[in-house]
Amino acid sequence: MHESEESYKAYIHAVLGFFILEDHVLNTGKGLITRAFLDDMWSMALSKIVTALQTHSAYCTDATLILKIKDLIMLFCATLKNYGYTIKPLWELVRELRDHYTEVLMQRWVQVFREILSKEDFQPIKVYDQEEFDNILLSFPWDGDLPDVVTFPYSFPFSSMVPKVYQQVKEFIYACLKFSEDLNLSRSR
């Protein structure tokens, strides 16, 4: 299941279908099943569902797929909550998934930073015209002491690594925040 969105969808849809159908039987079956029976069945199934999703998602190393899994679990939670089922363990799973997602991102960005460092010559950036100068300041908002009149060629007091790392840190933060979309969490969480 850990390799494709479709396998997660199939699993979650099967579970939803079963419990929605059982809820329908509860409401229309004139005593065929009781709420207590259905709640007990859900409690038993919930721990197995969480364990299965934990196990399979732990093997996932694709950040995009982890985001899709999170979205599926969120829809799963919303649907089950509307039918009156307890979903707290699923929220705990989402938190664990967030931690795993962050680890996957960190592994990716370690490689990115290593590549930047391996290609770095640690020489100051030298620009030869105003356009190059402006492009550097657009890529990295340096607020150091700039002369009133810049004469070219101009050497910045940092190497090309600095703007590259700055851009990658921004991308990493954006990728981390992608997980929090639609979670309805406050900024402090």
pTM of this structure: 0.82
If you search the block for the tokens 């996957």, which residue do you land on? 104
> CA 119, CA 4: separation in Å to the nearest integer?
35
Tokens encoding 55: 């196990």
What is the model's pLDDT at position 148?
83
- Beta partners for 127? 154
Mean pLDDT, each 10-residue run in order, the chain (189 residues): 85 96 92 92 96 94 95 95 94 95 96 95 94 93 85 93 96 93 58
Q: Maximum Cα–Cα distance for the chain, whole Å?
A: 88
> CA 148, CA 103: separation in Å to the nearest integer?
45
What is the model's pLDDT at position 188?
44
What is the model's pLDDT at position 189?
45
User: Residue 189, Cβ neighbours under 10 Å: how many?
Assistant: 8
> CA 11, CA 158: separation in Å to the nearest integer?
52
| H runs (alpha helix) in the chain | 5-28, 35-58, 63-82, 88-118, 130-139, 161-180
| Chain segment 67-110, per-residue pLDDT in tens | 999 999 999 999 999 999 999 999 999 999 999 999 999 999 99
Peptide bond into 157 cis (omega under 30): no
